[in-house]
A and B are shown apart, each in its own frame.
Chain A
């Protein structure tokens, strides 16, 4: 009976999705039609279409989720990604557990953003809103075309199989449930600045009027992209069982490239807000960031690159995505070339050494980093297509090229916030940098003394982190001291007033602090991880670094949709137990290793269990120092970003309060 109901429902969702496709087309074309037919009333159509589009897409998404929950195996997508044993949590997450569903999630998020902008823009930028909506509508229609005609999650399957296949076992993990939506919120979020920029180019919209809005959307998207990448690393670490979290895998690079350009963008926009310059460059950055988001989607969703993520391989759709991407980017960059300079800088550089120039160096470095990752990711592909020669570009290359770039970035990070706008006061700057530089040198020396001169990167990274941290600390201290002098306040009160009074700036500084904590974690785990792979019989003891681990044997266990051999190990140093598993999921012959980790702030003991030979088990033991710093640093980054964005809410409240006061006064 239930399946009868859901049969109807999935068709309702399918119908809603088709309707949404047409609504998106209307949304894309309405402003153009208004112009051609000289009927300005049509313009509002594209604004009003946005919430409807979101509603229809939501109906479609909910019917897919409902079909997953009710095991409606007449839906091809359900039958191939879910079965009756799958826990409910993963059934919902199966919406993005397969190729078709994840594309639908992409579209759904995009319609959500569009509806939010439509709501946000009605009172703030009503005259340009229809054009922004039209650009978003065109993008959505493009993706809907892919979803409906090439990769339809509503497609049916007859005869109805009695049981579905299992969701990809590697995806059955909480980290993987959160990772794709976060990443998509980031990727898709950059479509909003893109639509603003295209609309501005089309209508000569004065930059000051929209760049501030763009900044907030970009920050929002940047936060989600950051969180998505960190969750992806987390998943890779806790699920894939190779002992690492970042492998310079092409798909990881695909998410990292828009992050790099997005980071350049959120810094560069500040320059335009403060100094009314870099208009053209910012538009270029906005378009490039979204272009890289599209490229990332293409790389992941087309299976063109060999990658551990290639579960989503689907060549036919790759051609569609590639063509769509080419059309969008040709139009966008073409428009940029023709009209990119529609607004020139209104202020000039006064000195090549100033806050704005530091931001430009930041942009140069991020662009170089991004272009290097881009070449390393795509070059093997081009080479093979052009000459047939096969080469590999892997972690040793990226580590060697990217680490120095990141270290230079830290130097700019330390000096940048100290340099004043317009023209740096060199003498003052020298005074302010002296103590932090000494602190940095002290920490670097300490590293060499304690751990020996093994890697040059370790002391340099730690020294730079100490350098940056001291400059940030000293900066806050100076601001608080000044406030205490002026207002005669206590320390705590002055500190709170200073930090809460300029949330945008200090939020940014908290983000920088989070990055520093991450750098410590990346340095420690990247350079000082140790591992051993050995055959162990029960009772054997293995030592890696200073950790002694005893193998106690194995036992068989049964999960909701898998059976597993569980290894029993004890860390002799602290008595903690480790329980790595070798899982076999129903409906899949694939064995999946699930590592077990014992974490303390300073080190992770991480173990995998492999196959058995002659009563001995293959045990892969890792001791990874400071991994927790990476996750903690990531959390600090997101918290800092939220604090920075809260400034916007606060200001809006103030505006509303004053306008309310004015209203009641009059």
Chain B
């Protein structure tokens, strides 16, 4: 009975501490993937660090992991990579003079096109249409007339 109690006590003491380290590693892992997804593999053609199978991508992921374990924040790690490789490394272009147009364009376009569509629809809805063009072209009408004359 006593043994059991010791066992339970040991279990109660060990499991949370084990779980704590596990959670810790899994948090690091999740952060590592989140960071890797937003960084480009420098030797690949259009892949992120998260999906690339290239050797350098492995190394860069390990670097991210080590920096996370050393307590650096994701923002610090991203800044480190940008300092080394330039904006090119970021798969999400920054909102700076060069990248701003990418972020503004969809909104400008949506507003512009939507505005034009709305104005055109309103204007057309108000203005009555000109009488419809005759269904038959001049040639057809001539043919119809010729036929009716024949009869």
Contact = CB atoms under 8 A, between A and B. Distances in A.
Q: Indicate, yes or no, whether A interacts with B.
A: yes
Interface of A: 206, 241-244, 247, 249-250, 305-308, 310, 345-352, 357, 360-361, 363-365, 367-368, 371-372, 375-376, 379, 383, 387, 389-397, 400-401, 405, 531-533, 593, 608, 610
A616 to B, nearest CB: 14
B92 A394 contact: yes
A350 B124 CA distance: 8
A244 B50 CA distance: 11
Given A244-B51, A376-B102, 7 more contacts: A346-B132, A350-B125, A351-B125, A357-B121, A364-B110, A391-B88, A391-B99
B98 A364 contact: no
A244 B117 CA distance: 37
Interface in B61-119: 61, 86-93, 98-99, 101-103, 105-106, 109-110, 113-114, 117-118
Given A346-B129, A372-B105, A394 B45 contact: no
B47 A242 contact: yes
Interface of B: 29, 33, 37-38, 40, 44-48, 51-53, 61, 86-93, 98-99, 101-103, 105-106, 109-110, 113-114, 117-118, 121-122, 124-125, 127-129, 132-133, 137
Contact of B51 (A242, A357, A390): A242
Nearest to B91: A394
B125 A393 contact: no
A415 to B, nearest CB: 16
Given A247-B51, A610-B53, A392 B90 contact: yes
A360 B117 contact: yes
A389 B96 CA distance: 13
A361 B113 CA distance: 9
21 contacts: A306-B46, A308-B45, A310-B45, A348-B128, A352-B118, A360-B117, A361-B114, A364-B113, A364-B117, A371-B109, A372-B105, A389-B87, A389-B98, A390-B88, A391-B90, A391-B98, A392-B87, A395-B48, A396-B92, A397-B91, A401-B106
A351 B47 CA distance: 48
A392 B47 contact: no
A375 B109 CA distance: 11
A397 B102 contact: yes
Contact of B45 (A244, A306, A376, A401): A306
Contact of A379 (B38, B91, B101, B109): B101
Contact of A360 (B99, B121, B133): B121
A391 B93 contact: yes
A457 to B, nearest CB: 16
Contacts of B88: 390-392
Nearest to A618: B58
B93 A346 contact: no
A329 to B, nearest CB: 20
Given A241-B53, A368-B110, A391-B99, A349 B121 contact: yes
B105 A371 contact: yes
Contact of A250 (B46, B93, B106): B46
A308 B47 contact: yes
Contacts of B45: 306-308, 310
A345 B131 CA distance: 11
Contact of B122 (A352, A396, A531): A352
A364 B113 CA distance: 6
Contacts of A306: 45-46
Contacts of A405: 106
Contacts of B125: 348-352
B53 A392 contact: no
A348 B127 contact: yes
Contacts of B132: 346-347
The 3 closest A-B pairs by CB, nearest first: A394-B91, A242-B51, A396-B92
B40 A392 contact: yes
B46 A249 contact: yes
A305 to B, nearest CB: 8
B122 A395 contact: no
Nearest to A408: B110
Nearest to A360: B117
A88 B65 CA distance: 46
Nearest to B32: A533
Contact of B93 (A241, A393, A608): A393
A361 B86 CA distance: 40
A372 B122 contact: no
B36 to A, nearest CB: 10
Nearest to B33: A531
A402 to B, nearest CB: 9
